[in-house]
Structure 1
Amino acid sequence: MTSWLDCLLRPALAAFASLAILCSPATAQPRVDAPRWTASWAAAPQGLPQPPAVNGPQPAPPPSFYAQTVRERVYPTISGEQARVRFSNRFGSAPLHIAEASIALGTGGSALSPASLQPLLFGGRREITIAPGADAWSDAVPAEVRAGQAMVISFYLDERTPFGTLHRMPAGATWVAPGNMVGDATMPAAAPLDWNHIVTGLDVMSRGPVRVVVAFGDSITEGVNAFGPVLGRYPDRLAERLRDASPGAPVVSVLNAGIAGNRLLSEVVGPSGLDRFARDVLAQSGVTHAIVLLGINDIGFETFVGGPGSAGPLTRSVSAQRLIAGLQRVVDMARARGVKVLLGTLLPVKGSGYWSEQNEDIRQAVNRWVRDQHAAIVVVDFDAALRDPRDPQALNPVYDSGDHLHPGDAGNAAMAAAIPSRELLQ
């Protein structure tokens, strides 16, 4: 039975509830200075087994870990006082059990600063089991993260763990040692690995205007044959350049989502670009921009792998029209999420196993289309920046790593310089 008091109060309570919904944090616009998670480092993962490689010999990893500590060095591109780490079992075939994990400042090689050592917890627990196909973030932890300064992440795998989710890293970035050494400052018995395992992201808590730029591509983005140090790849050079931006400019994080051998349209090395763009780019915390440079493997694989005496092409014939349609899909996906796209022209490849007159025609057609998009998106003309003035179908020898396909150290610097920084600060 409804009382007279209920009848009087019901309209007022309804009005108050409506006002509360309008003012609730779930619907209110976030403040610019509100703390939020922002990606500071990330890697684009892939799985085993590896197919035949076209970018040189691939490391042959052992089949599994067992009762071992893995320690990985990463280089954040923006600073923060709190951090969280993403552990991935995206390509695993069995549950992944992490018995213990930690984060600390790196002091060279596999060593860390004991004073900075912090345990990583998962829902308040020191261990976690991650299902196949899933990712898991650690809890927030106080950590002195500084842009360009190495952080080391250690985790102990007490159960037999088949290699599943990994990414190739520059030499001297990953180590494995027997036993639980998560809390040890040094790892005397550590052996180097050529792969980054399981760790795919480092976020920091940030305030104020921040831009998160994801460089999306293949081995040219990943940094194959970049003869400089670990920080010599073009996304690393770009991050360094943007740290020197004018005072008051937004902070810019630059992530490297390159996979050597990756293709836009087909799955050969890692998922296809079309398949992984949403996960490796759009799912990064706070993403605002994407630099897209992908497609040369689609053109070159068939010539390189499917030439005389080979087992034949790995996929169906690739046309400029199909590549253009694929790139347009990537642009459309980014726009739907409010992410600004910087689309790169494909670099010259004459002199490499990728080159043929037919392949050059396809590359030129794709590049013409990219340049024609300047009214709608930002075009980065990597081709014009790195080609040989005397032979525009080839890399400038100054920028060539020697294989006529991948830029060397100077070429990576030239690629970073070709990107209009003003477009990343808007």
Structure 2
Amino acid sequence: MTTKKTFLVLLVAAALALVAAPASAHQRPWSATWARAMQAPAGESWQGPNWSLDGFDGQSLRQELRVSRGGDSVRVTISNRYGTGPLRVTGASIGKPGADGAVRPGTLRPLTFAGRASTTVPAGTERTGDAAYLRVAALERLSITLYFSAPTGPATFHESSADTSYLAAGDHRFDPRAAAFTGRNHASYFLSRVDVGGRPSPSVVTFGDSITDGVSATPGTDGRYPDRLAERIAAAGLPYGVLNTGLSGNELLNDSATAGESGLHRFQHDVLDQPGVRTVVVLEGVNDIGLAGWLGRPLTAETLIDGHRALIAAAHAEGVRIIGATITPIAGSFYDSPEAEAIRDAVNDWIRTGGEYDAVADFDLALAEPGGDRMRAEYATLDLLHPNDAGLAAMADTIDLATL
């Protein structure tokens, strides 16, 4: 039997929906402000267990993110690219986060899809929602809550979010409190893009592996190198969104069950299909080099260079500017070997001097010891492969904003 409290919640949600998604919402100009690469459900990794294999059932999933540019409204894209069946989202809301999974009172808005509170996303597809009239500033954080009344099946997700996802039993879309959200996880689920409405602007996509993804950034600090780049762009008054489509463990040439489709296979969707994409910064190849040594796979510098050339050709075919980033230091890391270093040096020399990329971001030079191949101590984590927060900031500072 429906309680009075439940009835009032549903009544308020319905009223807000009428305000949030007028019939003309689809005609608004939209600009991408945040994105994340999606991957197939996978079990426990070096980061610990996640919820992707089990999915969700009768639960509310709350996730937080930081936008790169602002607007007068927002809309959200939900992904079921790697689902095994239709994904039913019973309802969703958006607001501005408080502390530890809470949402600031007065900021909660319903998210609708074609004017309805619920939506079903077929397997292998994505669905973009309606406008929610919530004004957001550049570099402001958002909280998105999805409610699933029935089993979702295995969840399309992103393994390394560098943020916390929160889980509660029951429907807590419009509950601003954190008390019910007792589950905690490091991964993110189903959210692939956020757009803002208002004056349209181009986007810069950062594309790569765990270093772009930001797995070594301090969690919850927005310390990834694309985050720092977004801060520089905002401070300079440039109207660009910055989208992070890095994927931990990703290779340029090889698909992986745990690290997603190869850079070659996902470049169209994760870069060229993003709304308003103007420029892409590519940092790919270190996992191809390192895993070739581990697995005994044949790899030459020319093969890796040909992979980069394929990305350049695809970008130029769609009028997108493409910046090549040199592969960061590996000396002393678990990828280090004379053969690996020779391939890395050859590829980096081609990126710097080949003239095929439209511009170069020399991350290797920014992070390496002067005259050496080892990452500077002040920029390195313990594995000597992933930069720390200071190293990630140094990478962002390396990019000449004029080249964007």
TM-score by length of 2: 0.89
Q: Indicate the residue corresponding to 2:138 in structure 1.
A: 147
Q: Indicate the residue corresponding to 1:406 in structure 2.
A: 386
- Alpha carbons of structure 1 residues 317 and 58: separation in structure 2 relative to 1, 3 Å: farther
Question: What's the C-alpha RMSD, in Å, of the aligned pairs?
Answer: 1.8
Q: Indicate the residue corresponding to 2:211 in structure 1.
A: 220
1:45-81: CA deviation from partner (whole Å, max 9, x where unpaired):
101235x96xx44434362211000011011110001
Bigger-Rg structure (1/2): 1
SS of the aligned residue for 2:299 comes to coil
Q: Indicate the residue corresponding to 2:341 in structure 1.
A: 360
TM-score by length of 1: 0.84
Q: Indicate the residue corresponding to 2:292 in structure 1.
A: 302
- 2 CA distance for matches of 1:411 and 1:153? 30
Instruction: Tell me, yes or no, if the aligned pair for 1:300 and 1:359 is still in contact at 8 Å.
Output: yes
- 1:340 counterpart letter in structure 2: R
Q: Indicate the residue corresponding to 1:258 in structure 2.
A: 246
* 1:339 Cα offset (Å): 0.9
Pair 1:380 & 2:373 matched: no
Q: Indicate the residue corresponding to 2:331 in structure 1.
A: 350
Q: Indicate the residue corresponding to 1:21 in structure 2.
A: none
Pair 1:160 & 2:148 matched: no
Tell me which moved more, 288-297 or 113-122.
Answer: 113-122
Q: Indicate the residue corresponding to 2:33 in structure 1.
A: 40
Q: Indicate the residue corresponding to 1:284 in structure 2.
A: 274
- Alpha carbons of structure 1 residues 272 and 207: separation in structure 2 relative to 1, 3 Å: same
* 1:400 Cα offset (Å): 0.6
Pair 1:125 & 2:83 matched: no
- 1 CA distance for matches of 2:267 and 2:120? 26
- Alpha carbons of structure 1 residues 288 and 172: separation in structure 2 relative to 1, 3 Å: closer
- 1 CA distance for matches of 2:313 and 2:272? 12
SS of the aligned residue for 1:335 comes to helix
> In structure 1, which of residues 245, 262, 270 is the aligned counterpart of residue 260 of structure 2?
270
Instruction: Tell me, yes or no, if the aligned pair for 1:177 and 1:187 is still in contact at 8 Å.
Output: no
- Alpha carbons of structure 1 residues 359 and 44: separation in structure 2 relative to 1, 3 Å: same
1:157-215: CA deviation from partner (whole Å, max 9, x where unpaired):
1111223210134454311100000111013131111211011110011316x231110
Long gaps (5+) in structure 2: 1-26
> In structure 1, which of residues 185, 188, 203 is the aligned counterpart of residue 195 of structure 2?
203
* 1:273 Cα offset (Å): 0.4
Q: Indicate the residue corresponding to 1:69 in structure 2.
A: 60
Q: Indicate the residue corresponding to 1:338 in structure 2.
A: 319
Instruction: Tell me, yes or no, if the aligned pair for 1:71 and 1:153 is still in contact at 8 Å.
Output: yes
Q: Indicate the residue corresponding to 2:396 in structure 1.
A: 416
1:284-324: CA deviation from partner (whole Å, max 9, x where unpaired):
111111000001000001324x3xxxxxx4xx422111110
Tell me which moved more, 326-335 or 57-66.
Answer: 57-66
- 1:293 counterpart letter in structure 2: L
- Alpha carbons of structure 1 residues 131 and 329: separation in structure 2 relative to 1, 3 Å: same
* 1:105 Cα offset (Å): 1.3
- 1:43 counterpart letter in structure 2: R
- 2 CA distance for matches of 1:157 and 1:173? 19
- Alpha carbons of structure 1 residues 317 and 375: separation in structure 2 relative to 1, 3 Å: closer
> In structure 2, which of residues 180, 200, 205 is the aligned counterpart of residue 189 of structure 1?
180
- 2 CA distance for matches of 1:280 and 1:174? 22
Instruction: Tell me, yes or no, if the aligned pair for 1:373 and 1:379 is still in contact at 8 Å.
Output: no
- 2 CA distance for matches of 1:181 and 1:364? 52
* 1:375 Cα offset (Å): 6.6
- 1 CA distance for matches of 2:248 and 2:379? 19
* 1:230 Cα offset (Å): 2.7
- 1 CA distance for matches of 2:47 and 2:146? 28
Instruction: Tell me, yes or no, if the aligned pair for 2:164 and 2:220 is still in contact at 8 Å.
Output: no
* 1:35 Cα offset (Å): 5.5
Tell me which moved more, 372-381 or 357-366.
Answer: 372-381
- Alpha carbons of structure 1 residues 203 and 398: separation in structure 2 relative to 1, 3 Å: same
- Alpha carbons of structure 1 residues 180 and 38: separation in structure 2 relative to 1, 3 Å: same
1:240-297: CA deviation from partner (whole Å, max 9, x where unpaired):
111110xxx5312111111100000001110100010111111111111100000100
Instruction: Tell me, yes or no, if the aligned pair for 1:303 and 1:353 is still in contact at 8 Å.
Output: no
User: Percent identity of the aligned residues?
Assistant: 38
Long gaps (5+) in structure 1: 1-33, 307-312
Instruction: Tell me, yes or no, if the aligned pair for 1:228 and 1:409 is still in contact at 8 Å.
Output: no
- Alpha carbons of structure 1 residues 383 and 256: separation in structure 2 relative to 1, 3 Å: same
1:350-390: CA deviation from partner (whole Å, max 9, x where unpaired):
11110110111110111111012347510111111111115
* 1:229 Cα offset (Å): 4.5
Pair 1:393 & 2:373 matched: yes
Matches within 5 A, 1:20-35: none
* 1:407 Cα offset (Å): 0.4
